Chain A
Amino acid sequence: MMKNVIQKMLLMLLVFVMLASTCYADDVPYTTYNYDYWENIVYTPAAYIPDGKIDGATILDENGEAIGGFVTPNDVYLGKDNHLYIVDSGNNRVVVLNADDYSLIHIIEGFDNNGVAETLKNPMGVCISENEDGFIYIADADNYRVVILNSDYTLNTIVENPQREDNVLEDNFIFCPQKLIVDSAGRLYVIAKNTEEGILVFNENLEFENYFGTISVSISTWERVWRKLSTKAQRQKQALKISTEFNGLDVDDDGFIYASFADTNGVQGVKRLNPKGLDVIKKGYNEHTGGDIGQYNATGSYDGMSRAIDVCYCENGIYSFLDSRRGRVFTYDHEGNLLYVFGGFSDNGAQEGCFKTPKAIEKNKEQLMVADSTLNIVLLFKPTEYGSLINEAVGLRYDGDEATAVPVWENVLKYDANFELAYVGLGKAYLSAGDNKKAMEYLELGMSKQYYSIAFRRYRNEFLVGNLEWILTLAVVLVIGGVAFKKWRNRNKYTDNSADTLE
Chain B
Amino acid sequence: MKKYFTKDKWKYSFYCLSHPVDGFYEIRHRDRGSVPIAFIYVILYSLCYSINRLASSFVVNDTNPRSVNALSELFGVLVLYALLCVGNWSITCLMSGEGRLKDISIIIGYSMLPMILTLIPATIISQVIAANEEAFYYILVTLGTAYSLLLMLIGIMTIHNYSLLKTLITLVLTMIAILVIIFCIVMVYSLVNQVFGFFHSIYLELLFR
A residues apposed to B, CB below 8 Å: 37-38, 40, 444, 447, 449-450, 452-454, 456-457, 460
Contact = CB atoms under 8 A, between A and B. Distances in A.
Interface string B41-70: 000000000000000001100101001000
A40 B131 contact: no
A106 to B, nearest CB: 56
Chain A contact residues: helix, strand, loop or mixed? helix
Contacts of A38: 62, 64, 67
Contact of B130 (A40, A444, A447, A456): A456
23 contacts: A38-B62, A38-B64, A38-B67, A40-B64, A444-B58, A447-B58, A449-B58, A449-B59, A449-B131, A450-B131, A452-B58, A452-B59, A452-B130, A452-B131, A453-B59, A453-B130, A453-B131, A453-B132, A454-B130, A456-B130, A457-B130, A460-B128, A460-B130
Contacts of B59: 449, 452-453
A293 to B, nearest CB: 14
A447 B63 CA distance: 12
A35 to B, nearest CB: 12
A340 B119 CA distance: 39
Chain B contact residues: helix, strand, loop or mixed? loop
Interface residues on B, range: under 10
Contacts of B132: 453
Interface string B120-155: 000000001011100000000000000000000000
Contacts of A447: 58
Interface in B72-112: none
Contacts of A450: 131
Nearest to B130: A453
A447 B130 CA distance: 13
A261 to B, nearest CB: 30
Nearest to A460: B128
B106 to A, nearest CB: 33
A297 B58 CA distance: 31
Contacts of B62: 38
Query: For A444, A447, A450, A453, which residue has the most chain B Cβ atoms within 10 angstroms?
Result: A453
A191 B134 CA distance: 47
Give the 4 A-B CB pairs with smallest separation, nearest first: A453-B130, A453-B131, A38-B64, A456-B130
Interface in B160-197: none
A37 B61 CA distance: 12
Contacts of A444: 58
A450 B130 CA distance: 8
A341 B130 CA distance: 32
Contacts of B130: 452-454, 456-457, 460
Nearest to B67: A38
Query: For A447, A449, A460, which residue has the most chain B Cβ atoms within 10 angstroms?
Result: A449
Given A40-B64, A452-B131, 7 more contacts: A38-B64, A38-B67, A449-B131, A450-B131, A452-B130, A453-B131, A456-B130
A447 B58 CA distance: 8
A447 B59 CA distance: 9
A453 B128 CA distance: 10
A460 B128 CA distance: 8
Nearest to A454: B130
Contacts of A457: 130
A452 B131 CA distance: 8
Contacts of B128: 460
A37 B64 CA distance: 9
B61 to A, nearest CB: 10
A278 B62 CA distance: 32
Query: For B58, B64, B130, B132, which residue has the most chain A Cβ atoms within 10 angstroms?
Result: B130
Interface in B4-35: none
A450 B59 CA distance: 9
A460 B129 CA distance: 9
A465 to B, nearest CB: 15
Contacts of A454: 130
B172 to A, nearest CB: 23
A464 to B, nearest CB: 11
B54 to A, nearest CB: 14
A453 B60 CA distance: 11
A36 to B, nearest CB: 9
B130 to A, nearest CB: 4
A245 to B, nearest CB: 36
A223 B59 CA distance: 35
A416 to B, nearest CB: 18
Nearest to B132: A453
A318 to B, nearest CB: 27
Contacts of B58: 444, 447, 449, 452
A366 to B, nearest CB: 36
A453 B58 CA distance: 10
Nearest to B63: A38
Contacts of B131: 449-450, 452-453
Contacts of A453: 59, 130-132
A40 B59 CA distance: 19
A51 B64 CA distance: 38
A490 to B, nearest CB: 22
Contacts of A456: 130
A38 B66 CA distance: 11
A444 B130 CA distance: 12
Nearest to A459: B130
Contacts of B67: 38
Contacts of A449: 58-59, 131
Nearest to A452: B59
B20 to A, nearest CB: 29
B147 to A, nearest CB: 27
Nearest to B127: A456
Contacts of A37: 64
Nearest to A463: B128
A428 to B, nearest CB: 15
